[in-house]
Amino acid sequence: MVGKVFSNVASNYDIMNDLMSAGLHRLWKDRLVSKLSPFPGMKHLDVAGGTGDVAFRILESISSIRRRALQDPLNDGLQEETQIYVCDINPNMLNVGKKRAVERGLGEDKSLTWVQGDAEVLSFGDNSMDGYTIAFGIRNVTHIEKVLDEANRVLKRGGRFLCLELSHVEVPVFKELYDFYSFSVIPQLGELVAGDRESYQYLVESIRRFPPQEKFASMIAEAGFQKVEYENLVGGVVAIHSGLKI
């Protein structure tokens, strides 16, 4: 069912994200990447990242570091050493990302690898990644615990786990407004813009089923991560959870 939802929304994914969040999703992803602190030569896995939004930001962050150190010609090798893997279970979402990569001049970039795969059963080796991000994806998996276990498995010691996800608003008046917007406005937007009310109704309902911030933080800790914390953005509309593999 989730596969069908994302196949349906893939072609309108960017415009609907802008409309639903009033463009704020761009700032939220910027914040996610700033907390990751990317570095040249890193091996990074972005899961459920088919459209490339997070991966492009990571590459841009690393490129800006390289530009500042460009006086040293030996730094030319840093970009090739860097490897960003974009993993998504849905081929339609990956196709959107690949197309956007070409439009950005990154179509032949060896630092960027697109992989169709399942977050619950990753094809990457143990202790192989410096970083792991998942943005607006973990609430759509079948078994959150398996995804967290896999994230811990593929990360090296000292590797960072970061998750950006729509979460739970607790401020009473804001919560009522947010619920009205979520259940009344978003499905209608989906119908008007994408001709698909059902998929966006599912997306809203999936947010409410996702564990609250504290519960999700405890699940991350149970998967073996240390220094688990979270940051609420826009009063808890979204939260960024992080953990460290030690």
DSSP string, 12-64: GHHHHHHHHHTTHHHHHHHHHHHHH---TT-EEEEET-TT-HHHHHHHHHHHH
Question: Does 51 belong to an annotated binding site?
Answer: yes
Question: Does 119 belong to an annotated binding site?
Answer: yes
User: Helices H, strands E: what count in the chain?
Assistant: 11, 7
| pLDDT for position 73 | 56
| pLDDT for position 1 | 62
Q: What is the largest CA-CA distance in the chain?
A: 57
Q: Predicted confidence band at 72 (pLDDT cuts at 50, 70, 90)?
A: low
Question: Does 18 belong to an annotated binding site?
Answer: no
| pLDDT over threshold 60, residue 146 | yes
Least confident of 9-23, 82-96, 204-218: 9-23
Phi, psi (5° rounding) for residue 216? -65, -40
Tokens for 238? 């979204």
Q: Predicted confidence band at 15 (pLDDT cuts at 50, 70, 90)?
A: confident
pTM of the model: 0.89
Question: Does 88 belong to an annotated binding site?
Answer: yes
| pLDDT for position 75 | 53
- Among 164, 161, 109, smallest CA distance to 130 is for 161
| pLDDT over threshold 80, residue 125 | yes
Summarize the confidence of residues 72-92 as an average pLDDT. 77
Q: Does the domain made of 22-167+211-244 have the CATH classification 3.10.20.520?
A: no
Contact 44, 151 (CB under 8 A): no
| pLDDT over threshold 60, residue 78 | no
What are the residue ranges spanned by the domains of the chain?
Answer: 22-167+211-244
| pLDDT for position 9 | 57
Summarize the confidence of residues 202-226 as an average pLDDT. 94
More confident residue, 13 or 214: 214
| pLDDT for position 130 | 98
